[in-house]
Structure 1
Amino acid sequence: MRASRLALALAATALTALAAIPTVAGAQDGPAAASYKAPRNAWGQPDLQGVWTNATITPLERPAQFSDLVIPEAQARAMEQANASQNAEGLKPTDPNAKVTDLPVDCGRGFRGTDCGYNSFWTDPGTRVIRINGQARSSIIVDPPNGKLPAMTPEARQRLAQRFSRNNPRAFDGPESRSLGERCILSFGTSAGPPMLPLLYNNTYQIVQNRDEIAILVEMVHDVRIIRLNAKPLPASVKQWMGDSIGRWEGDTLVVETVNMRPEQGLRGASGGTLKVTERLTRVAPDQILYRFTVEDPATYVAPFTGEVAMNATKGPIYEYACHEGNYALEGILAGARALEKEGRTPTSDPVADLAGEGGL
């Protein structure tokens, strides 16, 4: 179902998503009316319920060709047209007689060699640039002003390098050493959140509210976030997938503070054990929610950073992502590692090298 390096590539490139199937444009085509007032539910809360998508071709970090957050509409249209052309190229069928060693060295979107397992038919990252208040955005990150992630601490750089190394000696020890996405525990990247960021596909969320809780069903790997309103935080010793999320209403904005994530979870090297994410969801139009988040992790980044994403209304329902069904890749990865070890060879993350008799998995 998934190969080892493909999973890493999905996690590493999901935030620079390109190509796919059109999504609902919604309110991103024009500025939200300053007088817009979100509808209320039965408890008098701003109503965020519905099915939403954050799919976009706007990357997390600002590309070098842009100096500002807001870009001219003509440039945004050019990006969307280039994406459509790349999408059309990616839709071309793969030669069924091709061997692993025939795969292209670089097939785009961050995939190389044996990671070239998806053509555009299977992906849905979005086709449009983020537009908020009618302004096209060059990056999800809005602070720092340069649209880049802050510098990482030396310890975090070392941790991240080991995690993605092809020669990580622990990478094939057992299922616990594999990624959360491969194990069908959480989404690739941080689609489940927090923060909830777009991926290569499955960028849909369903929000359901009651008086005391808000549930967010995440399409990718069928995650469900539970946000407890005006509740007491759990003890710091209680670590949870997606953390302990406590919400409150500030006017029309839902403010969610999340801590106590498990250390295996984080954003681009962030450690869930020291991570705090503050999210703000404001319904700014009938068919758009402005999603703003701030990430603080002093053990990983030298400063906090903030981003904004448009969540646009889309048609439901969300279909089940049956991750475990047919997931033969995880069993195959570990079985292949044991076979190599019996031959006295060291498993790596390079299948082509393995086929050439140089070791690898």
Structure 2
Amino acid sequence: MRLRRVAAAILMALLSATTSSVSPAAQRRGGPPPPPSKPTPYWPDGRVNLGPPPGETGLWTPAGIVQLSINPKSVNRANPTSHLPDPITLEAVPFQPWARALHAARQANFERDEPHTRCKASGGPREFITPYGVELVDVPELKRVYIFDVGGPHTFRTIYMDGRPHPADLLPSYYGHSVGRWEGDALVVDTAGFNTKFWMDREGTPHTEQLHLVERFTRTDFNSMKYEATIDDPGAYTAVWTGGFVLRWSPGTELFEYICQDNNRSPQGMVGADASVSRQRRIVP
């Protein structure tokens, strides 16, 4: 992928376009308070509109640097609105010993081993931790919700809204098999059948093929989406736990063509500065 500074620049540009992008910290420094957000939009049939109003464009982007579980050593203190009201801390995550050790090892080699940097699809929460934006498209005629994003996998995620169960013989995959339903104004998505070829977040939170993920998407106002992920994985954790973060609406933006393989320009960041040139073939799957 492009260098992190390019991604960060894009993220900041997108965030600056939102009407709620002025953080409480900025206000304390004397910045202007943000104008009040418009209310949550709805379709005529009463469903929450997860995207732009008709005739407009926009995407969901992270509200700053977001984390599935808050690490006090690296928490984004400048923008507390990127976190859930009562976020779980990294210390409170009920890791099994091997999973905690793996998480620590991934942190020690931050981003060097992450599949996302090798243009692999990112399942679960990691799908939304991207500076390029994510689009949720609700198609009631098909009884499906699609999630589109930018990157190397050249694919998309399908959420079936027709009441079907998970198949009994799921083949493990990056996105798993997702079925959804509405609980009031929240879209609740139940997913099973994951493989272990991706990280659940940028920090390297591990999982096994036993992962059962329940996500809640709640558009609390026009500019904010609360994302909650409940992780039930007895192969990696001793108890069920919930993490999450806040996404911000970036109006006037659209997804664009981005071929991850063509933009993978920093192999030393993935295999190490001393790696042999011959190893660079491993970067592009």
Counterpart residue identity of residue 213, structure 2 = V
- Once the two structures are superposed, residues 66-114 of structure 1 have per-residue CA deviations (whole angstroms, 9 ceiling, x without a partner) of 9xxxxxxxxx9xx54xxxxxxxxxxxxxxxxxxxxxxxxxxxxxxxxxx
Other-structure match for 2:62: 54
Report the alpha carbon displacement of residue 213 of structure 1 after superposing the two structures with TM: 0.5
Counterpart residue identity of residue 49, structure 1 = G
Q: 1:259 to 1:149 in 2, by over 3 A?
A: farther
Taking structure 2 as the reference length, what is the TM-score of the superposition? 0.67
Q: Which of structures 1 and 2 has the bigger CA Rg?
A: 1
- Once the two structures are superposed, residues 304-353 of structure 1 have per-residue CA deviations (whole angstroms, 9 ceiling, x without a partner) of 332342222212211122112254777x99xxxxxxxxxxxxxx954348
Taking structure 1 as the reference length, what is the TM-score of the superposition? 0.55
* Structure 1 segment 65-214 matched on structure 2, within 5 A: 80=78, 129-131=79-81, 139=83, 142-144=86-88, 146=89, 148-160=91-103, 179-187=114-122, 193-194=124-125, 196-199=127-130, 201-202=131-132, 204-211=133-140, 212-214=143-145
**Separation in 1 of the partners of 2:240 and 2:144?**
27
Pair 1:39 & 2:42 matched: yes
4+ aligned runs moved over 6 Å, structure 1? 30-33, 161-166
**Separation in 2 of the partners of 1:278 and 1:164?**
25
Report the alpha carbon displacement of residue 238 of structure 1 after superposing the two structures with TM: 1.8
- Would the aligned equivalents of 2:186 and 2:219 in 1 still touch at CA under 8 Å? yes
* Structure 1 segment 14-25 matched on structure 2, within 5 A: 20-21=12-13, 22-25=15-18
**Separation in 2 of the partners of 1:310 and 1:321?**
24
Pair 1:351 & 2:280 matched: no
Of 302-311 and 243-252, deviating more is 302-311
Counterpart residue identity of residue 95, structure 2 = M
Other-structure match for 1:264: 197
Other-structure match for 2:253: 316
Counterpart residue identity of residue 251, structure 1 = G
**Any idea what SS the aligned residue of 1:254 has?**
strand
**Any idea what SS the aligned residue of 1:181 has?**
helix
Q: 1:254 to 1:349 in 2, by over 3 A?
A: closer
Structure 1 regions of 5+ residues with no counterpart? 67-75, 81-128, 132-136, 172-177, 334-347, 356-361
Report the alpha carbon displacement of residue 141 of structure 1 after superposing the two structures with TM: 8.4
Seq. identity, %: 24
Structure 2 regions of 5+ residues with no counterpart? 22-33, 53-58, 278-285
**Separation in 2 of the partners of 1:300 and 1:30?**
43
Counterpart residue identity of residue 247, structure 1 = G
- Once the two structures are superposed, residues 179-207 of structure 1 have per-residue CA deviations (whole angstroms, 9 ceiling, x without a partner) of 532442214xxxx53464424x33x1111
Q: 1:234 to 1:142 in 2, by over 3 A?
A: farther
**Separation in 2 of the partners of 1:184 and 1:256?**
25
Counterpart residue identity of residue 152, structure 1 = F
Partner residue of 2:242 out of 283, 295, 306: 306
Q: 1:46 to 1:302 in 2, by over 3 A?
A: same
Report the alpha carbon displacement of residue 157 of structure 1 after superposing the two structures with TM: 3.8
